[in-house]
Every structure is written in structure tokens, then in C-alpha cells.
Amino acid sequence: MNDDLFASASAMPLMPSNNSIDNTNSAQMPLAARLRPQTIQDYIGQQHLLAEGKPLREAIEKGQLHSMILWGPPGVGKTSLARMLAHLIDAEYTSLSAVLAGVKDIRQAVATAQLTQQTSGRRTLLFVDEVHRFNKAQQDAFLPYVENGTITFIGATTENPSFELNNALLSRCRVYVLRRLGDDDIIQLLHRALNDSDKGLGQKELHCSEDVINILASAANGDARRALNLLEIASDLAEQNITLEIVAEILGGDVRRFDKGGDIFYEQISALHKSVRGSSPDAALYWCMRMLDGGCDPLYVARRIVRMAIEDIGNADPRALTISLAAWDTQERLGSPEGELAIAQAVVYLASAPKSNAVYNAFNTVKVDIAAMPDYDVPLHLRNAPTTLMKDLQYGEEYRYAHNEEGAYAAGENYFPKDIADKIYYEPVPRGLENKIKEKLDYLRQLDQKSDRQRYHYNAENSTDE
């Protein structure tokens, strides 16, 4: 441990413990904060982690908590779980927000944890919200203290830890995936909020129909915090009854969640691409509209469908690329809603079109070969000879001009370097236009095999001038 860093630790005041939730029932605190669970029985959702017999549940019951990363969308209980864990194992709870904190804050939190351990023997659970926002140096600052047990580290993130967190930190933590809450979970939470007379809204004796609760649960979109915030706003507007009119008023400016830089973004574009590739126009249209409705830039969708036309349809239907580019152009020229309709048209066409990744596969195979093979010279017969010297060196000699050959095809001619003369990269699939292309290429290869002029023009290249 760095003695310089902690030399003055004994002089530092202890940070206040937050593991007790008894003081969160103040009426001035948001409803979502007041209702944070203290027991596993109070915790709603995530039964794949907390049900009887699950490893995390057993670790809690044995008081043998380990460092972990909680990965999941907003409002599924990451912070609540961390607070509850600290409460259940009687640990000092300290929290940092990676949005606001720096290395100095990390050092102070660790120093306080060390002092707490020395003076009271209690361990510290350090919770870091939005941990993916810490840079490499900031993440590295935790490593020695997670390693030696000074802190039990719990990081919360909405982003894929594999991409956003250091391998060194990941290797010292177990990753738990928290799932989006179902409507039944949200409904249960809303009923608890309405009936709890201590921390909830029970003292107000509000009346709320099941229809209203169902609408609030649906509008929450799996986010418990959002559900409770909506309920609290509705309760402030209501006298005794939370009516459909009140709910309609507070949901009037509802904006669907669309994470433009995170996992939800990539999950939805992945679903769109796979729906197009899988020839499901209905699903493709659904995911396209989910992205557009959620606030995704239509030009991004337009660019991605051009990629789909090239990668998954290719020469099976070359019109797919033309239609995709036209949709992109329409969006740039006209904007919404005409541009979005053109994008939807292109998505449906692509999903309905015959599929081929033959060009895509050939492209990737050639890239690999070029990187691995020597830089072969262009065969002499394929080189231009604009000067007398080049002609004397046999540049272009015996080149066969295809238009002068029968059928405009020089049967038996070779256009590869000698060492890879028999390479075949492009293998058309028997679908769409590529079915015809395949027939044509098979026919030309038969002509090559029958030709008595299969020449590779390498004798002159391999000869040595005396």
C-alpha cells in the first residue's frame, strides 16, 4: 500500500455511512429513494440472481460477498442491490459517481475504507455508479485495494463491461447481468408504493385503477425508477383519484428510451440487420421504426441499409443497392417524414429480396490472401507497352483482346499471377440474379477447359537473357 497516499488517513474524517436506509423515508426524498429495499424479500426482480440456491444469494447469506460488476439497463435495481448488499452484510457503504469523481475521490474513499477497517473492524462496500465512464488510469486505481480486500468493489454500468472496463479490473470482479423488469414486476412495485404508509404513498389514501397501473407499468418500459417517478408526479396532481386523464397529461411528452451510443443502440441495429438477412420484412420494419421512433438519426439507418444491400444481397439483386442509395438520397433531400418512408420501403425490399453474401465472402478472402501472399508481379502479357523499351521487354506480348475473340471471350486466357493461376474467389449462390451469373461462369469455365489455347504466358517471364 502506498504509505504516502495514506499517511494522513488517520487525520481524515470518516465519510458518512449510507448503508442504513432508515433515514431515506423523509417526505422530501423522491419516492424511488424512499422505497429502496433492505431485504431480499423486498427486492423486486432479478430472481435469476437472487432466488434460493443461486450463487449470489448463497454468498449473501454466508456473508461472503465478493467484488462484482452489475451490468444492466437503467432502473433495474443496480444501486438498490448494492445498498441492500451493504445492509445485509453490515458493511460500511460508500458511493462514487464516475460522472463526477476523479482519482483524488477514489483515493479518499479507499483511505477512509482503510481507516474504518482499522478502527471498527468493519469492511467497506464501495459502489461506483456509471463505472464505464472512468478511464483506464482511474479504473487501475482500484486494483490493489480490490486485490488486498481493503474494499468490496461493486461497479454499475449500462454498457458492455467487455468493451468498457479494463481486463485487470474485470478479472478481479464477477459480472452479474441484471435484466429489464417485466410489467408484472413494475405493477408489483407500484402497488407497494401505493399501499406503503411509511415510505410510500399510503398515507395519501390514493385510489388508482388497475387500468392506470397497467398504463404506468407499460410506460415505464422496464425501468422501476421511471415507474415510481411517474406515479409520484401523478399523485401530486391527484386529489384522491389518479385518473386516466392525469396519466395522459404526464405521459404527453413521453420520449422512448434510445441509447444512441450504448448497448440498446447496437442491439436494435443488430436486430434490424438480422431481420433483413433472415428475409423477415415485418420484423425488419418493426426494428427500423423502433430506432426511428426512439430518436436514431435516419441517415445512420440509411447508411446501414446500404451496407446490408451490399453484404447480404449483393448480386442476387443489384437493385437492392440502388433502392438503398435512393432512400438515403431521399432522406437527405426531403427529410422527415418522406425520407423515413423511403427508408422503410428500402428495408422491406431488402428483407424480401433474394440473399447472397458471395461477393462479401470473396472480398474478405481476397483481403486475407493479399495480406498473407507475396506481392506478385503483373504478368507480362497483362502489362501495357506504351514505349519501345517496354515492347522489347515483351510487355503486352500475346495479349488477347477479348472483343476480337468468339463470343467476346478469350477462352483459356489467364489473368492471375502464375502462382495463383487457379484461384476462385467468387462463388455465386443459386438464388436471384446470381443464379444466372453462376450459369454464365460455369459455361465460361467449360470453355476454358476445352480450349487448346490455355496459355499462361510465363515462359518469356521465366527466361534468362544471355
Q: What is the pLDDT of residues 85-115, one digit of tens each?
A: 998 888 899 999 998 888 889 989 999 999 9
All structural domains of the chain, each given as residue ranges with its CATH number in brackets, are 3-177 (3.40.50.300), 183-250 (1.10.8.60), 263-352 (1.20.272.10), 377-459 (no CATH)
Residue carrying the nine cell digits 469455365: 445
User: Which three cell numbers, joined as nine digits, stand for 389?
Assistant: 523499351
Q: What is the pLDDT of residues 263-304, one digit of tens each?
A: 667 788 899 999 999 999 999 999 999 888 877 889 989 999
Q: CB atoms < 10 A from the CB of 189, how many?
A: 24
Q: Is 173 left (phi over 0), alpha (psi -120 to 50) or beta?
A: beta
In the predicted structure, residue 189 carries a pLDDT above the cut 90: yes
Which residues partner with 68 through β-bridges?
Answer: 154, 174
**Reduced to 3 states, what is the DSSP secondary structure of residue 129?**
strand
Lowest mean pLDDT among 261-265, 321-325, 335-339: 261-265
Q: CB atoms < 10 A from the CB of 374, how many?
A: 8
Distance, C-alpha 434 to centroid of its chain: 33
Which residues partner with 69 through β-bridges?
Answer: 155, 175
In the predicted structure, residue 117 carries a pLDDT above the cut 50: yes
Is the whole model's pTM more than 0.85, yes or no?
no
pLDDT of residue 343: 96
Burial status of residue 409 (CB atoms within 10 A of its CB: 0-12, 13-18, 19 or more): middle
Provide Rg for the chain, Cα atoms: 33
d(CA 209, CA 247) in angstroms, rounded, equals 11
d(CA 460, CA 114) in angstroms, rounded, equals 81
Q: What is the pLDDT of residues 431-457, one digit of tens each?
A: 999 999 999 999 998 888 888 554 444
pLDDT of residue 329: 94
Q: What is the pLDDT of residues 402-431, one digit of tens each?
A: 898 888 988 888 888 888 888 999 999 999
In the predicted structure, residue 9 carries a pLDDT above the cut 60: no
Q: With bands split at pLDDT 50, 70 and 90, how would you rate the model's confidence at 178? A: very high
Q: With bands split at pLDDT 50, 70 and 90, how would you rate the model's confidence at 261? A: low
Contact predicate 126/96, CB 8 Å: yes
In the predicted structure, residue 64 carries a pLDDT above the cut 90: no
In the predicted structure, residue 315 carries a pLDDT above the cut 60: yes
pLDDT of residue 260: 53
**Reduced to 3 states, what is the DSSP secondary structure of residue 358?**
helix
pLDDT of residue 271: 93
CA-wise closest residue to 189 among 379, 402, 31, 349: 31
pLDDT of residue 462: 47
Q: What is the pLDDT of residues 202-250, one digit of tens each?
A: 788 888 889 889 889 888 888 999 999 999 999 988 888 898 888 888 8
Q: CB atoms < 10 A from the CB of 72, how many?
A: 22
Lowest mean pLDDT among 38-47, 105-114, 243-252, 342-351: 243-252
pLDDT of residue 288: 94
pLDDT of residue 4: 40
Work out the mean pLDDT of the chain and round it to a whole number: 85
In the predicted structure, residue 8 carries a pLDDT above the cut 50: no
Contact predicate 244/252, CB 8 Å: no
